[in-house]
Each structure stands twice: as C-alpha cells, then as structure tokens.
Amino acid sequence: GGRGGSVINLSSIMGKIATPGAAAYCASKGAVLMLTKAAALEWAPLGIRVNSVHPGYVETPLVHNILREVENGNEVRETLVLQHALGRLAEPAEIANAIVFLASDEASFMTGSEMVVDGGYTAR
C-alpha cells in the first residue's frame, strides 16, 4: 500500500515542433517532455506513472491577450485556426479531459507517454 500514483506534466505542441520567434518557449516545453520520460523511468519501480500533455492552441486568456496585442489579431487568429485540422482552437475542458484520463486507472499502462491534444495541428 501507499505506492503508486500519476504525474501529468503540461507541455505543448511547441515541445514537439518549433515555431519562429519562440525558441525559449519551445526549449522549455521540450525540456518538460524529456523530464517526463526520465521521471517515468526513474519512478516506474515505485508504481508512479509520469506522462505529458501537449495541447495545441486553446481558447484561453493567454491566447486572447496575445491576439489583442498584435495589429492584425483577427488574421493571426484565422491563421492559427486553419493550422488545426479540426478548424478551431481547443476548449480548456478538452485539455482537462485528457489530463483526467491520464490520471485515471484507464491509463494504467501509460508512462513516459506524450498525449498530443492539438486538433491535428502536428499532423500537418
């Protein structure tokens, strides 16, 4: 008893693919991916699973504020939407659902995994 658990680290699609002007962000999110894998190997003997979630762009204040700050925010938003195969940005609950799944017993054989929740962004 007392052993086991699930750690879910939040990364980004930018931890798997790069974008110009975001080197530090991409590097930090890539580091989260590799930290997840190393911790998964180290903590597996303790029964602790460690996975990462890699969202695409999400309808959040962060995204809204960035779009508000740029001159052509509506055009930038439309470009972002078109980069997601599903033709929209994610809702926060859609990312939360992936996290809940990874925390659940249904994901009991997942560790060191990268769950990409990006509406098809990285499939292109």
Give the CATH number for residue 100. 3.40.50.720
Range of 100's domain? 5-118
pTM of the model: 0.93
The answer to whether residue 22 sits within a structural domain is yes
Kindly tell me if the per-residue pLDDT of 70 is higher than 90.
yes
Between CA 82 and CA 89 the distance in angstroms is: 9
Q: Which residue has the higher pLDDT, 121 or 124?
A: 121
Kindly tell me if the per-residue pLDDT of 3 is higher than 90.
no
Nearest Cα neighbor of 121 from 79, 86, 73, 78 is: 86
Query: How many angstroms separate the Cα of 103 from the Cα of each of 3, 6, 98, 110, 111?
Result: 15, 6, 9, 10, 11
Query: Where in the sequence numbering do the catalytic residues fall?
Result: 25
The answer to whether residue 124 sits within a structural domain is no
Confidence of residue 49 (pLDDT cuts 50, 70, 90): very high
The answer to whether residue 35 sits within a structural domain is yes
3-state secondary structure of 113: coil
- Residue 2 is predicted with a pLDDT of 57
The answer to whether residue 86 sits within a structural domain is yes
How many domains in the chain?
Answer: 1
Mean pLDDT of 47-67: 96
Kindly tell me if the per-residue pLDDT of 1 is higher than 80.
no
